[in-house]
Amino acid sequence: VQVWSLDSPKSKYTLFGHSHHVYCLDFFKRDGQQYLISGSRDDTAKIWDLQKKECVHTLEHEYEVVCYVFAHPSLPVLITGGRDGAVRVWSSTDFRLKKKLEVGAPVYGLACLMGSERVAVAHFDGVSVMEIGDEEGQGGCEGSSNENSIAAIDS
């Protein structure tokens, strides 16, 4: 992953760690510090500390390509999706897997609105909306009936 400054034609530095193509990136903050999450065809998403310029954690997937990564704008979670038809919700504080939600078709995109606990998932069969919540006190839904719910929307 090459990191560039918008005011220079040369890259500032390179983050080494993925063993295959990188398909997606997103920035997020943790404890006031800037991080980057990258998703790759090597079946991983990597968390990069941009101050130290190194990988601080690797999120493993069981299956092929991690096509989409997403740092939720108002919940402390990272969301990954890929060709296996699963959306994984990870803690952005300790990077543990919190939930795995099945959409049943390859994931092509992720989006949400600031302040919402819902994530829109574009996939091969259409669009689904998932209520992801946050089990650590910011609108949590652990153990509730919607923990693994997927509400389909006409596409």
Residue range(s) defining the domain that contains residue 94: 2-153
> Which pLDDT does position 115 carry in this prediction?
83
Tokens representing 22 are 């990188």
Q: Give me the average pLDDT of each 10-residue run along the chain (155 residues).
A: 88 89 90 92 92 94 78 90 90 93 90 86 91 56 33 38
* Domain at 68, CATH number: 2.130.10.10
> Which pLDDT does position 152 carry in this prediction?
39
> Which pLDDT does position 83 carry in this prediction?
87
Report the distance separating Cα 148 and Cα 60, nearest Å. 20
Is 59:90 a contact under the CB 8 Å cutoff? Answer: yes
> Which pLDDT does position 37 carry in this prediction?
94
Report the distance separating Cα 125 and Cα 72, nearest Å. 23
> Which pLDDT does position 65 carry in this prediction?
67
Total of domains in the chain: 1
pTM here is: 0.79
Cα 137 to Cα 44, 60, 75, 123: the distances in Å are: 28, 26, 10, 30
> Which pLDDT does position 78 carry in this prediction?
93
Give Rg (Cα) of the chain.
Answer: 16
